[in-house]
Every structure is written in structure tokens, then in C-alpha cells.
Chain A
Amino acid sequence: MRILFQIVVIICILLGFGAAKLRFEDRLSQDMVAQRLIQPPLKEGTSLRLGQTGAAVALGGLRSLVASIWNLRAFVHFENLDWLKLEQSYEVITTLQPQTTHYWDTGAWHLHTNASVYYKENKDLSPIRRSAMQLAYIRKGAAFLTEGVRQNPDDWRLHLALARLWNDRHKLPDPARALGHYEDTLACKSLPDYRRSQLRRFAFYVMTQVQGREPDAYALGLALFKESPQNHTPNLVCCLFALQNALEVPEAERLADAQLFPNKKTQLLWLKNFWSRRNQDYPMDGVRRKINELEQEVGDPRAKPQN
């Protein structure tokens, strides 16, 4: 009876002190969430998948440890080509560690590259099924990265991974979408300066492939060209050359060939290489004609492009 009385008194005192600590704890918790020091609670499905022990350990503040162990499991699923389990593993891993770019990036890569290629080359499946599964896994990879971006909006690596995915001509190339992601990458505050110039060039290359964006692409390319000699890469120069032709830029406003290319021999070489990539949707206006002219002028029979 005495113990029961004591327990009742203890509970009453704890309730009283609980009211005193409530606001303090709440403010501290909010500050910690704002500073991303503590993570939101696990989703119901994740706890089930983790199992009792894993969920208990994760609950105790050791999500990174559980995520590492699940990363090992994911590797085993990758070796066994068990894509469904691999996908589920990375869902658990990223729920445990939503701010770790590595897990989002690698999980998506497994889906949009490894799993999709596996299905593409799986001779046991009918061609229609192969194609459907390949596309499904590319989309799964993209969706996985998109979720990563939603949870880490300023992570330039995840934006870049999406840009590369939609720019990959072996997958589902969508230059307009890729351009959007390049622009998002460039808008990230976390993007280091030394990558900015290179990514602007990549954005320019993709922009040249988007129908109707040629004038914007020309303006960007011109700005990049004038900005730094480091931007005078063969691809950028050839794109500018073709864009000037495509947009019929007046002679007075055009960059002369002598400004664009170091010399005629190099111009021929660069344009030939550029022409060989004509299946990549780069603008090719006037490129073939110029190659023929230069071949006449420079006179190198080996430089003849194969049509």
C-alpha cells in the first residue's frame, strides 16, 4: 500500500516537473531539427523492414550504424542481381540517413544503370518486357534521385546526378529536363566555384539540343567564350560555329573562324570530330560544308568525313 502511495506521489511530481520541462524540451527539439542535428521519426514501413533489433538500434540514435550494415546487405543483393531487394534496401538506408548524398546517388545508380542494363540484356525475357523493365528501372532511379533532391534541396551533387541521367543518350535522353537540372545545380549555394564554369559549359551543350532554345544557347555560349580561354573547348567552339549558322547571325556580329579556331588544320580536325557526333542532336548547320571547304584548302585526304 505504501509503495502504491509512493508511486502515485512520484507520478504526480513527474507530471508537475514534466509541465516545467515541456517547453524547454520542445524548443530544444525544434532547434535541433532546424539545425538538422536530429532526424525525423522513421516511417512505419521502415521500422518493419529493419526488424526489431535494427529498429531498436536506429531508435537509440545509431542510424548511421544500421545504415552501414544495410549498405553491406545492399551490396550482397547487387552481387546476386536481386534488384527488388536492392531497391528496398536503399529505401531503408536513405530513410535512415536522408542527408547522406552517397546513398541516394549510389542507390539511384544501381537502379537506373545496373538494373536497367540487366533487364535490357536479359535474353530470357521477351523484347517488349525487356524494354519495359529497362525503362521502368531508369524511371525508378530518376524517382529515387528526385526524392533525394526533395530532401536535400541544396545538394548540387544530386541535382547533377539527375542532369546527367536525363542527358545520358543510353537511357531516356531529355535535354530540356537535363537543362533544368543543370540550372538547378548551378543555383545551389553548395556548388564549389571551381565546378561552376565546367557546369555552365555542360548546360550550354544541353541547351543547344533543346528545340527553340538556340538563341539562348548562342548567348550563353558567346558569353562563356568571351569569359575565359579555358572555355575555348573544341565542343563549345564547334557548337558556337554551328549556332551562328543556324541562327543566321549577321556577318558583322559573327565570331570569325579565326577567332573561334586556333588555325585551319585544327578547325578541320575539331569540326570532323564534332561531325562524327551528329547523332547526339548537336546543331550541325554548315559543319559539313565547312569540312568540305577546309579539305579542299588544307588538302588532307585522310580528313575526309565518313558519311
Chain B
Amino acid sequence: MRRNGFFSPARISVIAGHTFTQLVRMKVFYFLAVFVILMLAASFFDMPWSRVTEDSAEQELIILKSTAMGAMAMFSALFAIAGTALLIPKDLEDRTLYTILSKPVPRLDYLLGKLAGVLVLIAVSLLLMDALLTVVLHLRAEELLAAEMEKGAKLGWPQQYLDIRRESISQQGVTWDLQAGIAAIFFKATVMASLALLISTFSSSTLFTIVIAVVIYFIGHFTADARNYWLYSQKDGVSGELKILTQGVALIFPDFQLYNIIDASIEGKKIGQGVLARLAILTLFYAGIYSVLAWFTFRKKEF
């Protein structure tokens, strides 16, 4: 008799594929229609500038990017939490869970497959939104650049200034730094999805999972403050309870502020590959820990 392996990528990918199909059937991609409308509206929307400044063209592109990336971040965070929270209760309701677990499928494989399915769905959605953003942004940036160059030619701007304007507008167009921002959105969603999966393994209801995950999401944005307070700014007069609280927050919760390079990428700042790589490592660390802990509570759970 062949021994059943503890961890099988093939098995995980089958469960992930099934989860992906299951989620697609929930018509989540309808959100993309809303995104298309949003992008079209944003690309035609003229911000009522009270004053035309040197960088008005760049500001228009920043607004377009911030609208699109705001929608991407919102979708991915909501879906990472709600989509993952629904998975185990849905499988229980459909009785799919019994069918799967009655077979020689290790529970870790089941959990990783579920998580991978959600992440694939988020990745596909982000890629589609990214493609649309890239097209719209490219067209708008080219249009603004052409208008600026025409204006410069009429006003007799020196070549050096024309080059500076070209570079400045291009930096607000389609760049790798923008893709780094979108990667950060995905990383953040990965952490949230694995956290929601962990909560759902011991939670009694979907609503409870969502509420706790959202609370942790908000606390996670204050982790950096707690860590800075603990490591750098504690004073003698501070109560012991406050010290313990900040230490607890800094140690237990993920630091979501680190993923806020999204704003920097919208502003057209350069995001080094080193920073992105370290962020990816941290994401893998969180996803790994939460998945193992989810397996710890799920491994002997009775249904």
C-alpha cells in the first residue's frame, strides 16, 4: 500500500483549483465591471484645479492612479478577509469538506489548497485590474505629455526644461515602481487571507471571523507605533500595563504599515528591489506561520 505523503503540491493545486472555481461561481469578477466604470470615469474626470501649477499634469495622473489603486487595495483586502472566512463554512454547508477529509488528504494540504485558491483569485483580479490601469494610464500620460511638449514648444522652453518635464510626467505614468505598489497590495492581501484562515479554523461563525480579521487589520496599522514606543520612546513614568500592551501588540500583530509603500508608488517614487524583496520575505513568514497555526487548530477538529 502506497503511503500517503504529508505535503503534496499536486493535491494542493487540485484543491486550489476547486476553490478558485468555487469562488468564481460566487460572481466575484463582477467587481471588475465596477472597476472598469471607475477607471473610465477617473480618466475623463478633470480635477477642478483652482490654480494651474507646473506639475498639474502629474497631479492628474496621481489622481488616476490613486483611484485605481484604492479600488484594488479595497477589493483585495475585503476579498482576502470575506472570501477566506467563507471557505470552511461553505465546504461544511455543501458537505464537500466531509468528502475531501474522508479521503487520505492531509488537513494541511486542504488548508493550503484553500488559501492558494483565494490567493490565485486575488492575483488574477489584480492582474486584470493592473492591465486595465496600465492601458488607461499609458494613454492618459501620453496625452498629457504631448500637450505639455506642445505648450513648451509654443512658449520656447529650453531643451533641459522640456527633458525635465518629460521625465517628471513619465515617472507618473506606467513604471515598475507602480507594479511594486500593486505587488504590495497582493502581499498585504496574502497576510490577511492567511490570518482569516487561521481565525476561521477555530471560529464558530463566518461573521466572527470577518469581525476579528477586520479588527486585527486595523490593529496591524498601529503595530509600528507600538514597536517604536516599546523600542525607542518609553519613559520612566509609563505604567507597566502600557508597556506590556505595546510589547504584546508589537509581537503578536503583523505590521501593515510596511505595506503602505502603495502610496509611495502612487506618488511615482522609486521603490528599490531590496525593499520589495524584504517585504516578500516578511509576507512569506506571516503566511507560513499563520498556515501552520491554522493546521494546528484544524488538525484534530471534529465536524
Contacts and interface: CB of A to CB of B under 8 A. Distances in A.
Interface stretch (A105-113, A180-188, A265-273): A105-113
B293 interface: yes
Nearest to A114: B50
B261 A110 contact: no
A185 to B, nearest CB: 14
Interface in B265-291: 266-267, 269, 271-272, 275, 278-279, 282, 285, 289
A72 B62 CA distance: 14
Contacts of A41: 224-225
A247 interface: no
Given A14-B252, A18-B250, A38-B260, A9 B296 contact: yes
Contacts of A35: 272, 275
A62 B263 contact: yes
B231 A75 contact: no
Interface string A1-32: 00100110111011101110110111011011
A152 interface: no
Nearest to A64: B66
A146 interface: no
B48 A28 contact: no
Determine the interface band of chain B, counting residues with CB < 8 A from chain A: 35 or more
A7 B202 contact: yes
Contacts of B279: 28
Interface stretch (B69-77, B94-102, B139-147): B69-77
A65 B65 CA distance: 9
Given A36-B269, A68-B63, A28 B251 contact: no
A61 B262 contact: yes
B264 A37 contact: yes
Interface stretch (A95-103, A167-175, A248-256, A291-299): A95-103
A64 B267 contact: yes
A193 B221 CA distance: 42
Contacts of A37: 261, 264, 269, 271, 275
16 contacts: A10-B293, A25-B227, A29-B255, A29-B257, A61-B184, A64-B62, A101-B55, A102-B55, A102-B58, A106-B50, A106-B53, A109-B51, A110-B50, A192-B160, A193-B160, A194-B158
* Leading 9 A-B pairs by shortest Cβ distance: A18-B251, A61-B260, A65-B66, A65-B70, A64-B66, A37-B264, A61-B262, A194-B160, A59-B221
